[in-house]
Structure 1
Amino acid sequence: MGVCSRYLPVLPSLEELVKVLKHCADSKWLPFGKAMHAQFVIRNKISRSSHVTHLNSLIRLYAECGQLGLARNVFDAMPLKNVVSWNALMAGYLHSGDHLEILVMFKNMVSVQNARPNEYVFTTALAACSHGGRVQEGMQCHGLLLKLGLEFHEYVKSALVHMYSRCSHVELALQVLDAVPGRYDNDIFCYNSILNAFVGSGRAEEAVEVLRRMVDESVAWDHVTYVGVMGLCAQIRDLQLGLGVHARLLRGGLMLNEFVGSMLIDMYGKCGEVLSAKKVFDGLQKRNVVMWTALMTAYLQNGYFEESLNLFPCMDRDGTPPNQYTSAVLLNACASIAALRHGDILHARVEKLGFKDHVIVRNALINMYSKSGSIDSSYNAFSDMIHRDIITWNAMICGYSHHGLGEQALQVFQDMVSAGECPNYVTFIGVLSACAHLGFVKEGFYYLNQVMKSFKIEPGLEHYTCMVALLSRVGMLDEAENFMKTTQVKWDVVAWRTLLNACHVHRNYGLGRRIAESVLQMDPRDVGTYTLLSNMYAKAKRWDGVVTIRKLMRERNIKKEPGVSWLEIRNDIHVFVSEGSNHPESVQIYMKVQELLALIKPLGYVPNVASVLHDVEDEQKEGYLSYHSEKLALAYGLMKIPSPAPIRIIKNLRMCDDCHTAVKLKLDLGKRWCQGETGSSFRFL
């Protein structure tokens, strides 16, 4: 042994060892630290009888380097432990996210070992309570530290405020802030915790009060403060407050990091200032995926769907790879314009990038396929999911309802309840809409009055509007009107127009005129009401009434939206307007329409001239019917899209009865499949 020891390197003393191990821990230089540990074991300089300080250094080394098993071995082998030993290992568990083990150790330290925790141990334990949402354990820690007189330590105060804020007990956090005096620089951490808790829980008024208090006390803001305040401005859509905060940020000279920059973009987007959001984005020196996604979201939220999609190739050229949130935003943009082809391409990209199993992406896929008319693909995305959240179920239920597939929607709802998922407000909009499509009056009222009550969900305007639609669909117009009169809710124009449209369909013109007058008092510029009222007069052959309504529309500068249909062929969008001739192949399209009409007349097609709301001869009415936008779009689709590929037509208005009959017969000729999208969906097989 003596001979071998001559060749061992000269090692530092135990005091120097502590410094070396500290350096290894700070730099996470694990191999050298382990080598030093081994050499000292060989030299018998470290053993179970070694000084606790040296062993604490080893615990910290292994904990900082993520080797918690080795750290625990050293800790468990120590014959004597001090408070630093406990905190070193607990801090390691905190960094690794094992919050429960911290609380187990804390309980063992206090109850079994009778050790006295210091302010650092309490800070670690309270942090574990914060992350785990364990407010009861946090309160017990609070009680003990009060007993030990440690509540005045700055770290403890901050940890208490943060714990109560994270655990949704913000009032207690405020009590701690007020009860314990603190340093100027520490209070900003506490205020940030409280502010973000109020914003995160949607308690905007309380958040504004905290902000006002921070200003009154001249508390200096940091990046976290600006993120929280921008989130508040976005939540309450307060542009003036947002502008003031932005100005303060510029005056303070604080650099825009990714979080502040993205929140600025988000704030302007939610306040409807897309150009300002773009200006902030353009002024950023460094852009990452968070900022790109924030701008895409701003465009999406304000109806600039194509602009949102056009950012994606720019992002690619910038060398910024998308993440799952970017993918979800882009898919939702596709959904908003029913861009199925683009959605398919994005779906393939999502698969390639490995985002397909993210719930947020799957939800966006369900939404995109549903709103783009491919409900089967929507269900495929739904059925392949391993994990589903409430948004997943709602997207599928509402998707089926949107397509008029009420039975499937109700079945998904039953599956949802069976899976243990608790429905929410949105769920029952889809359920009641499904009942409306099916004409299930009894079932609809059962869901409204019984099932929603059992889930403690208070019905709102959207649910009641679905019931009006349900009663209207089955022709129970008087009952629908009585329901609206007796239900204690502030009805909007949409609900009244739902009943008005039913009056038009069921030819109850007296009730329709009365409702139309009420709607126009609520919204004198509601073009849909003028149109329906004019149509009712026309169907009743009250041409004087039609003239009066149209004159009133001219005087008020109210213009009826023209019927438009469009379809996508080889990445080109072709737009058709009723009786329009702007398409370069209009002559051929009109000839194709006439050819198709000639073919379907032997099949029983008779032009529904009663649906033409003009005081002209039947022959002229038939001419009006021939060139509705959907007929033109279908004719062009049959000309250009080879069989058996489906023809997908998008419309801005609901299809008239004549077009519905004619299109179905035309498709029957060639056994073609067509799908259309308006406010609701239709399809023919």
Structure 2
Amino acid sequence: MSALSVVGRRLAKEIRPSLFDTNPVLPSLERANKLLKLCADSSNLRVGESIHAQLIIRDQASRAENLFQANSLINLYSKCGKVIRARKLFDIMTERDVISWNSIMWVYLHSGFESEVLKMFKSMFFSGEPMPNEYIATVVLGSCSVGRSIEEGKQCHGYVLKAGLLSHEFVQNALVYMYSRCLRVEEAIRLLDEFPHPGVLAFNSALSGILDHGFAREGTDILRRMAQEDLRWDSSTYVSVLRLCSNLRDLKSGLQIHGHMLRDGLERDIVTNGVMINMYAKCGKIEYAQRIFDGSMTRNVVLWTSVMDAYYQNKCFEEVMNLLTKMDLEGVSPNEFTFSILLNSTADLSLLRHGDVLHGRIVKSGFKNHVMVGNALINMYSKSGSLGDAEKVFSRTTYRDIITWNMMICGYSHHGMGKEALKTFSNMLISREIPNYITFSGVLCACSHSGLLQEGLYCFNRLMKQFGVEPGLEHYTCIVALLSKAGMFAKAEHLLRTAPVEFDTVAWRVLLNACYVRRNYSLGKRVAEFVVEMDPKDVATYTLLSNIHAKLKEWEGVAKVRSLMRDRQVKKEPGVSWIEIRNVTHVFVSEDSQHPEIRRIYAKVREILSKIRPLGYSPDVAGVCHDVEEEQKEDNLSYHSEKLAVAYGLMKTPERSPLHIFKNLRICDDCHSAMKLISSLSSRVIIIRDAARFHHFRDGECSCGDYW
């Protein structure tokens, strides 16, 4: 029997003979107040409302002499989340004491209306009613912490000093937490130094406030100061220190803290276990995190979500999906955080059908309007190739945060729809949402994919400065891509050599790929040699350099690149494509021979290629990196993994239904040309996600406009 049902039975037993009988013997006011407190503590609104109704009938709900009763009613509605009712009761009170003010401020704070707390505090101060005490000060400081209102927090600090309330330990804790939460670490440490004997709670407040922002380095300062006091840690301290180890990815210290917990015999609860799972996950020790989970006596939705997040952080996406089945078997229902992790795992696996099933379950469970779930749905549909469904989720989202806008902009970017991304960005600015680092990464990437040179340069040179966003590696890399794809190789190379960031091989490879596509082979060779010196293990650069030599029919150069790869033990990743049909994923490699229906698939490929030749298809044999006969080169091109996947999709799916193909490498020129013609021949939409972006083939055209 649950605790709530026990409370309900007790309330029924207390109330039935006194309030609901035909000839009730009404309880005393003291008894009614006790019943109201019991209802408040158990959040039993229905019974509490019944008591309130009886008090109104007896005309005892609003008398001045019943101040304690009015406070009990405010407390009831506060703890049941009924903010408006609590405020109405407060407003009609002819007399208020400090408990009345504290109750209404408490409900505002815990309902997310921290600004109302500050307004109430000012009203109380100037009303001439009882002066704020230490409890009021704690609530007000809490609201300053949540809203990061440092100036109001300083004013409250001044009142605390003037009113002589600093001697209360919980006021000290609230002050330290407020300064820490507002990132005034020096002030927090100064307060700790000023307190005659700061307790462990004060240090916990400082550490927790800083870690809420993810500032690990400042957290080590607090921890060092705490060690000087030689205080005995409690469970909250251990939780905060484990969070610090997580942020620092400090496995050694995390293991030591775990050992101290075992030595001290600290009882592990759900919160402690969850933090330990997160710590081991951040440090890459997923097996340790699993052991903590397996050893937990109580496994509620919080703990299940923690272990799912641990696997997600370590890119074990399939295991995340498997955990959902186990969770269902134990009868634990997912919450919004669980669904968010599951959707993001589905996105990284590109499992559109699984995502659809999760979406249906979310609607059924009532979580579709949660912001983080909506954001995860947009991400899942975008990465799974169903941009139309992502747009539907976005359009139906009633509340959008910065992540919502970023998800949609980046979704358009990955699908090469630059104009749509810029339109969404414009709507974002109209809605007065402030763009951040990730926003501009998505916008600039969209411009580079779509060849929107002027728009991209305007965002980079003007808008980023206007919104105070400092350009980083991702932004400069997008500009390199934008310039090089536009054929402005000199400017792109100049930017790579002069920009105030340290470029990685990815940025240089962007220039190299543009040289290959736009046939600037001399610059491409020079860039490739530079990148190989920078990173001798970068297989993509060797591949592009080999392709350049092949285009020029420099077979000695191709052989030299291959010899260099063998000497340096660099292996080219084989091309792999996959397609999901009826919840089964079919994987293909180039010139595959393992699939059970491979003969029929090869026959289908030959049939398709013979039909698109009259439409203008000519195999691009110039890109084949083998010095063999032309016929052999054509055979090599015919059975690339994406062609096999498309052929199988045409065999196994209904006519005119879209095909979703995923590939681990960039699609080659020949397959790109073939897919445009196949889409026209079959009257199908063919969506291929390669290593760089999505390509939507429809009616003989590609969404990239051959700009890729």
TM-score by length of 1: 0.89
Indicate conservation of the 8 Å contact 2:37/2:76, yes or no.
Answer: no
Unmatched segments (≥5 aa) in structure 2: 1-22, 41-47, 79-84, 699-708
1:25–1:60 contact (8 Å) kept in structure 2 = no
Q: What does the per-residue CA deviation read over 1:290-314, in whole Å, with 9 as the maximum and x for residues that have no partner?
A: 1111111121221111111111111
Partner of 1:603: 615
Q: 1:113: which partner in 2? A: 128
1:139 aligns with 2:154: yes
Match of 1:171 in 2: 186
Structure 1 counterpart of 2:81: none
Is residue 426 of structure 2 the alignment partner of residue 414 of structure 1? yes
Give the corresponding residue for 1:260. Answer: 272
Question: 2:701 aligns to what?
Answer: none
> What residue is the counterpart of 1:682 in the other structure?
695
Query: Matches of 1:569 and 1:155 in 2, distance apart?
Result: 61
- Asked if structure 2 preserves the Cα contact closer than 8 Å seen for 1:71 and 1:89, the reply is no
Deviation at 1:675, TM superposition (A): 1.1
Q: Kindly provide the amino acid, as one letter, of the partner of residue 505 in structure 1.
A: V
CA 542–284 in structure 1, closer or farther in 2 if over 3 Å, else same:
same
Q: Paired residue for 1:65, among 73, 76, 89?
A: 76
Give secondary structure in 2 for the equivalent of 1:420: coil
Is it true that 1:182 corresponds to 2:197 in the alignment? Answer: yes
Asked if structure 1 preserves the Cα contact closer than 8 Å seen for 2:101 and 2:124, the reply is: no
- In structure 2, what is the equivalent of residue 4 of structure 1? none
Q: Which stretch has the larger CA shift, 110-119 or 586-595?
A: 110-119
Structure 1 residue 24: Cα displacement: 4.4
After TM superposition, give the deviation of residue 103 of structure 1 in Å: 4.8
2:141 matched residue in structure 1: 126
Per-residue CA distance 1:388-426 (angstroms, 9 max, x = gap):
111111111111111111111111111111111111111
- 3-state SS of paired residue (1:531): helix
The 2-side partners of 1:141 and 1:268 are apart by 40
Structure 1 CA distance for aligned equivalents of residues 381 and 343 of structure 2:
9
Q: Distance in 2 between matches of 1:510 and 1:26?
A: 82
Q: Is the 8 A contact 1:199 1:232 kept in 2?
A: yes
The unaligned stretches of length 5 or more in structure 1 are 1-6
Report the Cα distance in structure 2 between the residues aligned to 1:576 and 1:447, rounded to whole angstroms: 41
- The structure-2 alpha-carbon separation of the partners of 1:356 and 1:234, relative to structure 1 and needing over 3 Å to count, comes to same
Deviation readout 1:95-142 (Å, 9 max, x if unpaired): 464766655554455434274544344334434544454444433332
Letter of the aligned partner of 1:393 in structure 2?
Answer: W
What one-letter code is carried by the residue in structure 2 that aligns with 1:417?
A: L
Q: Which of 458, 465, 471 is matched with 2:483 structurally?
A: 471
Looking at structure 1, the residues matched to 32 and 194 of structure 2 have their Cα atoms a distance apart, in angstroms, of 40
Bigger shift: 173-182 or 300-309?
173-182
Structure (1 or 2) with the larger CA radius of gyration: 1
Give the structure 2 partner of residue 621 of structure 1: 633
Matching residue of 2:44:
none
Structure 1 position 557 matched with structure 2 position 569: yes
Matches within 5 A, 1:361-510: 361-510=373-522
Question: Which of 126, 130, 154 matches 2:169?
Answer: 154
Shift of 1:167: 4.1
Structure 1 stretches of 4+ moved >6 Å = 7-12, 31-42
Partner residue of 2:534?
A: 522
Q: Is the 8 A contact 1:436 1:470 kept in 2?
A: yes
SS of the aligned residue for 2:153 comes to: helix
Cα separation, 2, equivalents of 1:76 and 1:334 = 54
State the number of aligned residues. Answer: 658
- Partners of 2:224 and 2:238 in 1: CA distance: 14
Q: Any idea what SS the aligned residue of 1:684 has?
A: strand
Query: What is residue 278 of structure 1 aligned with on the other side?
Result: 290
Pick closer, same or farther for the CA change 1:454–1:40 going to 2, 3 Å.
closer
Bigger mean CA deviation after superposition, 64-73 or 533-542 = 64-73
Q: Which residue of structure 2 aligns with residue 347 of structure 1?
A: 359
More deviation, 141-150/100-109: 100-109
Identity percentage of aligned residues: 49
Residues of 2 paired with 1:35 and 1:538: CA distance? 88
Equivalences for residues 171-210 of structure 1 within 5 A: 171-182=186-197, 187-210=199-222
Which amino acid counterpart does residue 264 of structure 1 have in structure 2?
M
Moved more, 633-642 or 99-108: 99-108
Contact 1:94 1:128 in 2 (8 A): no
Residues 1:664 and 1:47: Cα distance change in structure 2 (over 3 Å): closer
Aligned residue identity for 1:163 = M
User: What is the aligned partner in structure 2 of residue 219 from structure 1?
Assistant: 231
How far did residue 144 of structure 1 move? 2.8
Three-state SS of the structure 1 residue aligned to 2:345 is helix
Q: Please report how far the alpha carbon of residue 171 of structure 1 lies from its aligned counterpart in structure 2 after TM superposition.
A: 3.2
CA RMSD of aligned residues (A): 2.9
For residue 3 of structure 1, what is the aligned residue in structure 2? none
The 1:520/1:588 distance shift into structure 2, 3 A limit, reads same
Report the AA paired with residue 430 of structure 1: G
User: Relative to 1, partners in 2 of residues 1:32 and 1:408: Cα closer, same or farther, differing over 3 Å?
Assistant: closer
